[in-house]
Structure 1
Amino acid sequence: MRRWTKREITKLRERMAEQGRDLHEIASEIRTQTGGSMLRAYRLAAGYSQPQVVDRFLDTAPEAVMDQTLLSRLEGFPGPGARAPRAAQVITFASIFNATPLRLLTPDALDLLPSHERATLIRCGAAIGPPIPLTDSGAPSSGVSPQPRLMPSADLERQVEMAARRALRFSADVEGSNVGPETIAQLQDEVARLAGAYPQRPLSELLGDLAELQDVAFRLLDGRQRPSETTDLYLLAGVLSGMLAKASHDLGSPHAALAQASTAYVCADNIGHDGLRAWTSGLRSLIAYWAGRGNESVRYAQQGAHAAASTRGTASVWLAAQEARGWAILGDAEKARAAIDQAKDARDAVQPDELDQLGGIMTFSLPRQQYYVADAQVWLPDQEHEAARAAEEAIAAYQAASPEERSFSDEAGAHTDLALARANQEDVDAAVTALQPVLELPVEQRIGGIVASVMRVHRTLNTPRLRTAAQTRAVQLEIEAYSRTSAGAALPPGR
Structure 2
Amino acid sequence: MGFPEEAIPAQVAKNLVVECGIPPRTAWRLASELSLDVAAHQYNAVTGDPRAGMRGTRIWEYEQWPERGVRPTVAALRVLARVYGTSWKCLLGLRDLEQLPAKDLAEYHAEPDTPVAVAAPEPEAAPSARTPVRAEGRAEEEIGAGALDDAILLTKTNVDDVQLDDLWADLDFLGGAYTRTAPDSILGQLAVIADRTAALLKGRQRPKQTQDLLLVGAKSSAMMAWIAGDLGRYRRSRELNSAAWLYTQYADDRLARRWVRTSQARVAFWAGNGIESAKLAADGLSYHVGGRLTDAPLILAEARGWSSVRAEGQVLDAIARWTAIEDPGLGAGGEDSFFNITKDRRHYMAGNSLLSVGQASAALREFTTAREAFEQLSLENRWEAMDPMIRIDTGRAHLRLDDLEGAAAQVGPLLDAGVGKQPDMVRAMLKLMATELSGPRWRSVRTARNLSEALLDAHASARP
What range is the shorter-chain TM-score in?
Answer: 0.5 to 0.7
Q: Which residue of 2 aligns with 1:388?
A: 364
Q: Does the 8 Å contact 2:367/2:394 carry over to 1?
A: yes
1-side partners of 2:347 and 2:462: how far apart? 26
Aligned with residue 353 of structure 2, among 358, 367, 376 = 376
- State the alpha-carbon separation in 2 of the partners of residues 481 and 390 from structure 1: 28
d(CA) in 1 for partners of 2:409 and 2:181? 25
**TM-score scaled by length of structure 1:** 0.58
**Which residue in the other structure is 1:411 paired with?**
387
CA–CA separation in structure 1 for the residues paired with 2:427 and 2:330: 34
Counterpart-to-counterpart distance in 1, 2:195 and 2:222: 14
Corresponding residue for residue 250 of structure 2: 270
Q: Which has the higher contact order (CA 8 A, sep 6+)?
A: 1
Asked if residue 228 in structure 1 is aligned to residue 208 in structure 2, the reply is yes
Matched, 1:333 2:309: no
CA pair 395-419 structure 1, distance change in 2 beyond 3 A: same
Q: 1-side partners of 2:321 and 2:329: how far apart?
A: 12
Q: Which of the pair has more CA radius of gyration?
A: 2
Aligned counterpart in structure 2 of residue 361 of structure 1, from 322, 332, 338: 338
Q: Say whether the 8 Å CA contact 1:398–1:406 is kept in structure 2.
A: yes
Which residue identity lines up with residue 375 of structure 1 in the other structure? N
Compare 359-368 and 325-334 and name the one that shifted more: 359-368
Does residue 285 (structure 1) correspond to residue 265 (structure 2)? The answer is yes
Per-residue CA shift, 1:109-131, capped at 9, x if unaligned? xxxxxxxxxxxxxxxxxxxxxxx
- Asked whether the equivalents of residues 274 and 310 of structure 1 are also in contact (C-alpha less than 8 Å), the reply is yes
1:13-24 equivalence runs, <5 A: none
Please say if residues 374 and 414 of structure 1, whose CA atoms lie closer than 8 Å, have aligned partners that are also in contact.
no
Q: 1:192 aligns with which of 143, 155, 172?
A: 172
- Deviation digits for residues 171-211 of structure 1 (CA, Å, limit 9, x no counterpart): xxxxx971111122222221111100112322143232122
Q: What does residue 234 of structure 2 align with?
A: 254
2:290 corresponding residue in structure 1: 311
Pairing partner for 2:187 from 199, 207, 210: 207
SS at match of 1:408: coil
RMSD: 2.6
Provide the rounded CA distance (Å) in 2 between the counterparts of 1:221 and 1:403.
38
Shift of 1:219: 1.2
> 1:426–1:466: 8 Å Cα contact kept in structure 2?
no
Give deviations 1:329-349, integer Å, cap 9, x for gaps: 221222211101212334459
* Equivalent-residue separation in structure 2 for 1:415 and 1:221 (angstroms): 45
Q: Does the CA-based 8 Å contact 1:415-1:437 persist in structure 2?
A: no
Q: Does 1:421 align with 2:393?
A: no
Aligned pairs, number: 308
Q: Which amino acid aligns with 1:245?
A: A
Runs of 5+ unmatched residues, structure 2: 1-155
CA shift digits 1:435-478 (9 cap, x unpaired): 2454445533x111111111111111111111222322222222
The whole-number CA distance in structure 1 between the counterparts of 2:230 and 2:279 is 21
Quote the Cα distance in structure 2 between the aligned partners of 1:395 and 1:320. 21
Q: Give, in whole Å, the separation in 2 of the partners of 1:200 and 1:441.
A: 18
Q: What does the per-residue CA deviation read over 1:307-345, in whole Å, with 9 as the maximum and x for residues that have no partner? A: 1x3434334211111111122222122221110121233
1:487–1:193 distance in 2 versus 1, CA, 3 Å: farther
Among 193, 199, 208, the alignment partner of 1:219 is: 199
Quick one: structure 1 residues 350 and 259, their matched pair in 2 at CA, closer, same or farther if it must change by over 3 Å? farther
Alignment gaps of 5+ in structure 1 = 1-175, 489-495
Q: Give the alignment of 1:447-466 within 5 angstroms.
A: 447-466=423-442
1:325/1:339 Cα in 2 relative to 1: closer, same or farther (>3 Å)? same
Give the 3-state SS of the residue equivalent to 2:295 in structure 1: helix
What is the distance in 2 between the residues matched to 1:338 and 1:405? 30
Residue type of the alignment partner of 2:321? Q
Q: Percent identity?
A: 24
TM-score (norm 2): 0.61
Q: Is residue 2:319 matched to residue 1:343?
A: no
1:478 alignment partner, one of 448, 454, 459 = 454
Q: 1:300 to 1:464 in 2, by over 3 A?
A: same
